[in-house]
Amino acid sequence: MISERRVVVGMSGGVDSSVAAYLLKAQGYDVIGVTMKVWPQDCMSRAEDKCCGPQAVADARGVAHALGIPHYVVDEAEAFEKTVIDYFASEYQQGRTPNPCVMCNEKLKFGNLMEKATRLGAKYIATGHYAQIVEESGQFILKRGVDARKDQSYFLFSLRQEQLARSLMPIGDKTKTEIRAIAEKLGLKVYDKEESQEICFVPGNDYTDFLRSHVGAENFRKGGIYDLQGNYLGEHEGIEFYTIGQRKGLGGGSQGPRYVVDIDAKQHRVIVGGANDLLRDSFTIGRCLWHFKGSVPDAFDVEVKVRHQHASCSATVFPQANQAALVKLKEPQRAITPGQAAVCYLGDRVMGGGWIEREVALLAKETAVATIGK
């Protein structure tokens, strides 16, 4: 039987999810702490200090004991491998730059974990995300967190209404400083725990080293580096080493800085150009999810973020068939990257978004390059 007052809190062993569990207990919820083990046994050494690694499990268990709530560890290693790590590697091999945090949130934290909450008789799951969920006239609205520096709503844009309806984010109306102060006052040992700035499964933030170990260097897609005029500039060791806007690893000999402006995965070619070649005033997104009550407008104005760390920019969105949309920017933006999420906001409210796609015009240009070069 599902209890309206029971909540499963995803506890990562950090200060945010720890305080989230405390706040919900203080509000009278029946709180159950759950930590997802996402590391295969043969990877535990590199996971030691990572999110959901052995130390994280120990820290979460310690906090649960201090708060007087039950704590369980659930093995999600196989699902994490298939849903997040395989996706991460596949995107790089297809010339796109992945966003594994969005995928992990949608499929695991607010997917598999929600299923486990149901089996535990809990209506809700809760996390330590800096974002807010409010209900207005029967619709659940995702909003930015109060702490602009820590806001994580970008990584949650793809959550559907049924997921938002069963989710609680109790720290979204607080700042990081306030959260640490609460944890310190409670005597929780994690109050000053450092935050990882890396993707949790990539040690040292070395993507290529991780990809070597996961897909094998012999499977890297080696090829040539070309400019936009089709001139052959040299060889590269794999398109997996590159992302749009990158400057490193392109060799010298040019009069000005060169940047990766596109990646032709079919021909294993890296296309380079100058800084101005990175600017775009429109792009398309696919697999869109919109948070409108009723029908989606034919066009609407928003602020769009093309990466989590990028500032928002003004745009008009034109929804199209097959969950696609055209995004026209008021001012050109740099390094809009296939594979990343484009998230749309109206004030603090997340209106939805989609995944940035490679443009047909650029593909046509790459095809022309392929016939001219080596």
Point out the residues that are catalytic.
104, 200
Write out the DSSP string of 158-213: T--HHHHTTEE-TTTTS-HHHHHHHHHHHT-GGGGPPPP-S-TTSGGG-HHHHHHH
**Is the separation of the CB atoms in 345 and 312 below 8 Å?**
yes
Tokens in use for 190? 């994690």
Q: Between the CA atoms of 101, 106, 107 and 108, what dihedral angle is there, to the nearest 10 degrees?
A: 70
The CA distance from 288 to 311, in Å, is: 21
Torsion of Cα atoms, 294 then 141 then 166 then 181, to 10°: 180
Three-class SS of residue 231?
Answer: coil
Gap between the Cα atoms of 122 and 105, Å rounded: 19
Looking at residue 93, its amino acid is Q
The residues with which 10 forms a beta bridge, in sequence order, are: 34
Would you list the DSSP string of 246-264?
--TTS-S--SS--EEEEEE
> What DSSP string describes 39-72?
S-GGGTTTTTTSTTSHHHHHHHHHHHHHHT--EE
